[in-house]
Amino acid sequence: MKNPLIAREGWLVLLAAFAAALVATWLLGWWSIPFWIWAVFALQFFRDPARVPPADADAVIAPADGRIVVVEKVRDTVLDRDALKISVFMNVFNVHSNKSPVDGVVKGIWYTPGLFVNADLDKASTENERNAIHIAAARGDITCVQIAGLIARRILCYARVGDTLSRGQRYGFIRFGSRVDVYLPVSARPQVSIGQKVTGGRTILARW
């Protein structure tokens, strides 16, 4: 199916925003400018451009647009193992569509309610609302965790246990500023560094 330019999660929001802007223009004239600013912001937030993942079979790709805030060896508490953790922080101006980092089968999904502290902080990984999926790939297991942020209040995950995901396939969405943590086997070799900007579905995070 052809990738839409605007994420389906934003259709109702955009309809309401532009309808409100048009009504405000009719009633308020130039005082309607704040309504148009909100409508344009919503339009850029819910954009969802098509992405073509690299053909490199060794590549693990970024699950979201944003900035790298963590590259370190940690404990993956979901799968109870040592892992390489790479975290992507999304601000409100990034594309918020989430994509599978690898080809694989969804083996488990865990939703955890929690807080909404700034997703740029390390404690967001353990304290914020989050949704983790376990993807079994040919070369190893990956845990991919969607984390709500300070403004984000809704995590959407469309994957189900047993689904087969293709690398770069859209599987979820997080609204208004958030984070995605990727846990890889410790043998994986990181290809990004802290502070680097990445593009979901395109940038190589690590290699097997």
Beta-sheet strand order (sheet of 81-90)? 164-165, 104-112, 130-137, 140-148, 178-184, 81-90, 66-76, 197-198
Which sign, positive or negative, has the C-alpha torsion 109, 75, 140, 70?
Answer: positive
Q: What is the chain's alpha carbon radius of gyration, rounded to the nearest angstrom? A: 18
DSSP letter for 121, please.
Answer: S
- Beta partners for residue 172, in sequence order: 98, 157
Q: Are 151 and 176 in contact (CB under 8 A)?
A: yes
Q: In angstroms, rounded to a whole number, what is the distance separating the alpha carbons of residues 55 and 77? A: 31
Give yes or no: 178 in active site: yes
Identify the active-site residue in 125, 166, 178, 193.
Answer: 178
Please give the positions annotated as active site.
178
